[in-house]
Amino acid sequence: MGITEILFWFLTILALTGALMVVFSKNPVHSVLWLIAVFFAISGHYILMNAQFLAIVNLIVYAGAIMVLFLFVIMLMNLTTDTEPQKNRWLKMAGAVAGGCLLLVLVAALRDTDMKYQLAQVKEGNIGLIHYLGKTLFNDYVLPFEISSVLFLSAMVGAVVIGKKGD
Amino acid sequence: MPVNYYIFLSAALFCIGIIGVLTRRNAIIVFMCIELMLNAVNLLLVAFSKMHHLKAIAADAASNVGSEAQLFVFFIMVVAAAEVSVGLAIIVMMYRNIHSVDINFLNRLKH
Protein backbone atom coordinates (compact mmCIF):
# COMPACT_ATOMS: atom_id res chain seq x y z
CA MET A 1 0.00 0.00 0.00
CA GLY A 2 1.69 3.13 -1.21
CA ILE A 3 1.42 6.65 0.07
CA THR A 4 -1.38 7.39 -2.41
CA GLU A 5 -3.62 4.66 -1.04
CA ILE A 6 -2.89 5.67 2.54
CA LEU A 7 -3.81 9.28 1.76
CA PHE A 8 -6.92 8.17 -0.12
CA TRP A 9 -8.24 6.09 2.77
CA PHE A 10 -7.34 8.72 5.35
CA LEU A 11 -9.22 11.43 3.42
CA THR A 12 -12.17 9.10 2.80
CA ILE A 13 -12.52 8.26 6.47
CA LEU A 14 -12.18 11.92 7.39
CA ALA A 15 -14.89 12.90 4.89
CA LEU A 16 -17.34 10.21 6.00
CA THR A 17 -16.78 10.85 9.73
CA GLY A 18 -17.19 14.58 9.22
CA ALA A 19 -20.38 14.10 7.20
CA LEU A 20 -21.88 11.85 9.87
CA MET A 21 -20.95 14.34 12.59
CA VAL A 22 -22.59 17.17 10.58
CA VAL A 23 -25.86 15.26 10.68
CA PHE A 24 -25.67 14.01 14.26
CA SER A 25 -24.21 16.99 16.17
CA LYS A 26 -26.69 18.70 18.45
CA ASN A 27 -24.98 22.07 18.34
CA PRO A 28 -25.22 23.88 14.95
CA VAL A 29 -21.78 25.46 15.42
CA HIS A 30 -20.21 22.01 15.74
CA SER A 31 -22.03 21.00 12.55
CA VAL A 32 -20.48 23.93 10.70
CA LEU A 33 -17.01 23.05 11.98
CA TRP A 34 -17.40 19.41 10.93
CA LEU A 35 -18.63 20.53 7.52
CA ILE A 36 -15.43 22.55 7.15
CA ALA A 37 -13.50 19.35 7.93
CA VAL A 38 -15.45 17.57 5.16
CA PHE A 39 -14.58 20.33 2.71
CA PHE A 40 -10.91 20.05 3.63
CA ALA A 41 -11.06 16.30 3.01
CA ILE A 42 -12.71 16.81 -0.38
CA SER A 43 -10.06 19.39 -1.26
CA GLY A 44 -7.47 16.80 -0.31
CA HIS A 45 -9.09 14.39 -2.76
CA TYR A 46 -8.89 17.06 -5.47
CA ILE A 47 -5.19 17.58 -4.76
CA LEU A 48 -4.68 13.81 -4.86
CA MET A 49 -6.23 13.82 -8.35
CA ASN A 50 -4.04 16.80 -9.26
CA ALA A 51 -7.02 19.14 -9.72
CA GLN A 52 -5.18 21.95 -7.99
CA PHE A 53 -7.35 24.81 -9.19
CA LEU A 54 -10.53 23.18 -7.93
CA ALA A 55 -8.90 22.33 -4.61
CA ILE A 56 -7.98 25.95 -3.99
CA VAL A 57 -11.35 27.27 -5.20
CA ASN A 58 -13.10 24.73 -2.96
CA LEU A 59 -11.12 25.90 0.05
CA ILE A 60 -11.58 29.62 -0.65
CA VAL A 61 -15.22 29.58 -1.72
CA TYR A 62 -16.69 26.81 0.45
CA ALA A 63 -14.52 26.48 3.54
CA GLY A 64 -13.71 30.19 3.54
CA ALA A 65 -16.67 32.23 2.37
CA ILE A 66 -19.77 30.07 2.58
CA MET A 67 -19.02 28.52 5.95
CA VAL A 68 -18.21 31.91 7.47
CA LEU A 69 -21.59 33.08 6.17
CA PHE A 70 -23.27 30.12 7.90
CA LEU A 71 -21.42 30.85 11.14
CA PHE A 72 -22.45 34.50 11.00
CA VAL A 73 -26.11 33.59 10.52
CA ILE A 74 -26.03 31.04 13.36
CA MET A 75 -24.44 33.52 15.73
CA LEU A 76 -26.81 36.28 14.60
CA MET A 77 -29.77 34.11 15.54
CA ASN A 78 -28.21 32.95 18.79
CA LEU A 79 -28.81 29.30 17.94
CA THR A 80 -25.75 28.05 19.79
CA THR A 81 -27.82 26.47 22.55
CA ASP A 82 -28.93 22.85 22.32
CA THR A 83 -32.65 23.55 22.35
CA GLU A 84 -33.51 22.47 18.84
CA PRO A 85 -36.92 20.80 18.67
CA GLN A 86 -36.55 17.18 17.59
CA LYS A 87 -38.63 15.24 15.12
CA ASN A 88 -40.37 12.30 16.65
CA ARG A 89 -38.46 9.06 16.83
CA TRP A 90 -40.34 7.16 14.13
CA LEU A 91 -39.97 9.97 11.63
CA LYS A 92 -36.21 10.06 12.28
CA MET A 93 -35.94 6.32 11.89
CA ALA A 94 -37.94 6.45 8.64
CA GLY A 95 -35.58 9.12 7.29
CA ALA A 96 -32.50 7.11 8.17
CA VAL A 97 -33.96 3.95 6.64
CA ALA A 98 -34.88 5.83 3.46
CA GLY A 99 -31.37 7.22 3.07
CA GLY A 100 -29.83 3.85 3.85
CA CYS A 101 -32.04 2.16 1.27
CA LEU A 102 -30.97 4.67 -1.37
CA LEU A 103 -27.31 3.95 -0.55
CA LEU A 104 -28.00 0.20 -0.72
CA VAL A 105 -29.66 0.50 -4.13
CA LEU A 106 -26.88 2.70 -5.52
CA VAL A 107 -24.12 0.40 -4.29
CA ALA A 108 -25.91 -2.74 -5.50
CA ALA A 109 -26.57 -1.22 -8.92
CA LEU A 110 -23.06 0.15 -9.42
CA ARG A 111 -21.07 -2.72 -7.94
CA ASP A 112 -21.02 -4.94 -10.99
CA THR A 113 -20.81 -2.42 -13.80
CA ASP A 114 -17.74 -2.41 -16.02
CA MET A 115 -16.68 0.71 -14.14
CA LYS A 116 -14.70 -1.48 -11.79
CA TYR A 117 -12.04 -2.00 -14.43
CA GLN A 118 -11.66 1.74 -15.02
CA LEU A 119 -8.99 3.69 -13.27
CA ALA A 120 -9.02 7.33 -12.26
CA GLN A 121 -5.69 8.97 -12.77
CA VAL A 122 -4.13 10.12 -9.51
CA LYS A 123 -0.99 12.11 -8.71
CA GLU A 124 -0.38 13.11 -12.33
CA GLY A 125 -2.06 14.53 -15.42
CA ASN A 126 -2.17 18.24 -16.00
CA ILE A 127 -5.77 19.00 -16.98
CA GLY A 128 -6.44 20.31 -13.49
CA LEU A 129 -3.76 22.95 -13.66
CA ILE A 130 -4.93 26.53 -14.03
CA HIS A 131 -2.99 26.91 -17.29
CA TYR A 132 -5.14 24.38 -19.17
CA LEU A 133 -8.38 25.21 -17.37
CA GLY A 134 -7.93 28.89 -18.15
CA LYS A 135 -7.36 28.15 -21.84
CA THR A 136 -10.53 26.09 -22.02
CA LEU A 137 -12.52 28.58 -19.96
CA PHE A 138 -11.62 31.63 -22.00
CA ASN A 139 -11.69 29.92 -25.39
CA ASP A 140 -14.85 27.83 -25.25
CA TYR A 141 -16.79 28.94 -22.21
CA VAL A 142 -16.55 32.73 -22.22
CA LEU A 143 -20.30 33.27 -22.53
CA PRO A 144 -21.30 31.08 -19.52
CA PHE A 145 -18.54 32.76 -17.54
CA GLU A 146 -19.94 36.23 -18.26
CA ILE A 147 -23.51 35.07 -17.64
CA SER A 148 -22.45 33.77 -14.23
CA SER A 149 -21.38 37.30 -13.33
CA VAL A 150 -24.94 38.46 -14.09
CA LEU A 151 -26.18 35.60 -11.88
CA PHE A 152 -23.99 36.82 -9.04
CA LEU A 153 -25.22 40.36 -9.45
CA SER A 154 -28.85 39.25 -9.36
CA ALA A 155 -28.17 37.02 -6.33
CA MET A 156 -26.59 39.95 -4.52
CA VAL A 157 -29.52 42.25 -5.32
CA GLY A 158 -31.97 39.51 -4.32
CA ALA A 159 -30.24 38.90 -0.98
CA VAL A 160 -30.23 42.62 -0.19
CA VAL A 161 -33.92 43.02 -1.15
CA ILE A 162 -34.98 39.97 0.87
CA GLY A 163 -32.92 40.90 3.90
CA LYS A 164 -34.03 44.53 3.93
CA LYS A 165 -35.91 45.70 7.02
CA GLY A 166 -39.42 47.02 6.75
CA ASP A 167 -42.49 46.11 4.71
CA MET B 1 -7.11 4.33 -8.08
CA PRO B 2 -10.23 2.47 -9.30
CA VAL B 3 -13.04 4.87 -10.10
CA ASN B 4 -15.39 2.55 -8.21
CA TYR B 5 -14.01 3.80 -4.91
CA TYR B 6 -14.85 7.36 -5.81
CA ILE B 7 -18.35 6.35 -6.90
CA PHE B 8 -19.01 4.65 -3.57
CA LEU B 9 -17.53 7.52 -1.56
CA SER B 10 -19.72 10.03 -3.39
CA ALA B 11 -22.81 7.85 -3.00
CA ALA B 12 -22.15 7.54 0.73
CA LEU B 13 -21.70 11.31 1.16
CA PHE B 14 -24.84 11.97 -0.90
CA CYS B 15 -26.91 9.55 1.18
CA ILE B 16 -25.63 11.02 4.44
CA GLY B 17 -26.80 14.39 3.12
CA ILE B 18 -30.22 12.94 2.33
CA ILE B 19 -30.48 11.43 5.81
CA GLY B 20 -29.64 14.83 7.28
CA VAL B 21 -32.31 16.56 5.20
CA LEU B 22 -34.91 14.00 6.23
CA THR B 23 -34.14 13.83 9.95
CA ARG B 24 -33.23 17.34 11.10
CA ARG B 25 -35.64 20.19 11.80
CA ASN B 26 -33.22 23.10 11.91
CA ALA B 27 -33.40 24.90 8.55
CA ILE B 28 -29.70 25.79 8.64
CA ILE B 29 -28.62 22.18 9.16
CA VAL B 30 -30.89 21.12 6.30
CA PHE B 31 -29.20 23.73 4.13
CA MET B 32 -25.73 22.48 5.12
CA CYS B 33 -26.72 18.94 4.19
CA ILE B 34 -27.71 20.21 0.73
CA GLU B 35 -24.21 21.70 0.41
CA LEU B 36 -22.81 18.30 1.37
CA MET B 37 -24.79 16.65 -1.44
CA LEU B 38 -23.55 19.24 -3.95
CA ASN B 39 -19.96 18.52 -2.93
CA ALA B 40 -20.43 14.77 -3.31
CA VAL B 41 -21.51 15.33 -6.90
CA ASN B 42 -18.53 17.63 -7.53
CA LEU B 43 -16.12 14.98 -6.28
CA LEU B 44 -17.65 12.40 -8.62
CA LEU B 45 -17.41 14.77 -11.60
CA VAL B 46 -13.71 15.33 -10.97
CA ALA B 47 -13.10 11.58 -10.63
CA PHE B 48 -14.85 10.90 -13.95
CA SER B 49 -12.88 13.66 -15.65
CA LYS B 50 -9.65 12.03 -14.52
CA MET B 51 -10.95 8.67 -15.74
CA HIS B 52 -11.66 10.02 -19.23
CA HIS B 53 -8.34 11.80 -19.29
CA LEU B 54 -6.50 8.59 -18.53
CA LYS B 55 -8.25 6.90 -21.45
CA ALA B 56 -7.62 9.83 -23.81
CA ILE B 57 -3.89 10.14 -23.14
CA ALA B 58 -3.42 6.51 -24.12
CA ALA B 59 -4.29 7.53 -27.68
CA ASP B 60 -2.86 11.03 -27.70
CA ALA B 61 -0.42 12.12 -25.03
CA ALA B 62 -1.11 15.83 -25.51
CA SER B 63 -4.89 15.71 -25.30
CA ASN B 64 -6.71 17.73 -22.68
CA VAL B 65 -9.96 15.77 -22.64
CA GLY B 66 -11.53 16.15 -19.25
CA SER B 67 -10.93 19.80 -18.52
CA GLU B 68 -14.56 20.56 -19.45
CA ALA B 69 -15.73 18.46 -16.50
CA GLN B 70 -13.55 20.43 -14.12
CA LEU B 71 -14.94 23.67 -15.52
CA PHE B 72 -18.41 22.26 -14.95
CA VAL B 73 -17.49 21.76 -11.29
CA PHE B 74 -16.31 25.37 -11.22
CA PHE B 75 -19.68 26.58 -12.54
CA ILE B 76 -21.50 24.39 -9.99
CA MET B 77 -19.51 26.14 -7.25
CA VAL B 78 -20.48 29.52 -8.71
CA VAL B 79 -24.17 28.65 -8.71
CA ALA B 80 -23.92 27.16 -5.21
CA ALA B 81 -22.40 30.37 -3.86
CA ALA B 82 -25.25 32.43 -5.33
CA GLU B 83 -27.77 29.93 -3.96
CA VAL B 84 -26.31 30.10 -0.45
CA SER B 85 -26.49 33.88 -0.31
CA VAL B 86 -30.15 33.98 -1.33
CA GLY B 87 -31.09 30.99 0.85
CA LEU B 88 -29.50 32.41 3.97
CA ALA B 89 -31.25 35.72 3.32
CA ILE B 90 -34.56 33.83 3.19
CA ILE B 91 -33.74 32.01 6.45
CA VAL B 92 -32.83 35.30 8.18
CA MET B 93 -36.08 36.87 7.01
CA MET B 94 -38.05 33.86 8.22
CA TYR B 95 -36.33 34.05 11.62
CA ARG B 96 -37.22 37.71 11.84
CA ASN B 97 -40.88 36.99 11.17
CA ILE B 98 -41.57 33.86 13.23
CA HIS B 99 -38.54 33.85 15.60
CA SER B 100 -37.64 30.28 14.79
CA VAL B 101 -35.78 28.29 12.14
CA ASP B 102 -37.90 25.19 12.67
CA ILE B 103 -39.01 23.87 9.28
CA ASN B 104 -42.21 22.47 10.77
CA PHE B 105 -43.49 26.02 10.99
CA LEU B 106 -42.94 26.39 7.28
CA ASN B 107 -45.34 23.69 6.15
CA ARG B 108 -47.73 26.30 4.82
CA LEU B 109 -46.68 28.92 2.34
CA LYS B 110 -49.08 31.60 3.53
CA HIS B 111 -49.05 33.98 6.52
Q: How far apart are CA B57 and CA B42, in angstroms?
A: 23
Nearest-CA neighbor of A31 among B101, B48, B68?
Answer: B101
Return the percentage of chain B with pLDDT > 70, whole number.
Answer: 96
pLDDT at A99: 93
Render pLDDT for A26-72 as a digit per residue (tens, 0 to 9). Answer: 888 899 999 999 999 999 999 999 889 999 999 999 888 899 999 99
pTM across the whole model: 0.90
3-state secondary structure of B86: helix
B100: left (phi over 0), alpha (psi -120 to 50) or beta: beta
What's the Rg (C-alpha) of chain B? 19
Q: What mean pLDDT comes out for the span B15-19? A: 94
3-state secondary structure of B26: strand
Nearest-CA neighbor of B35 among A67, A45, A72?
Answer: A67
A 10 A CB-CB count for A147 gives 12
Nearest-CA neighbor of A99 among A19, A8, A3?
Answer: A19
State whether ipTM is beyond 0.85: yes
Å from A17 to nearest chain B CA? 10
Residue B44: C-alpha distances to residues A27, A120, B5, B41, B51 (Å): 30, 11, 10, 5, 10
- Are the C-beta atoms of residues A53 and A129 closer than 8 Å to each other? yes
Closest residue to A19, CB basis, from B36, B47, B91? B36
Interchain proximity A62–B70, CB inside 8 Å: no
Q: What mean pLDDT comes out for the span B37-42? A: 94
Render pLDDT for B68-99 as a digit per residue (tens, 0 to 9). Answer: 889 999 999 999 999 999 999 988 888 888 77
Interchain proximity A54–B46, CB inside 8 Å: yes
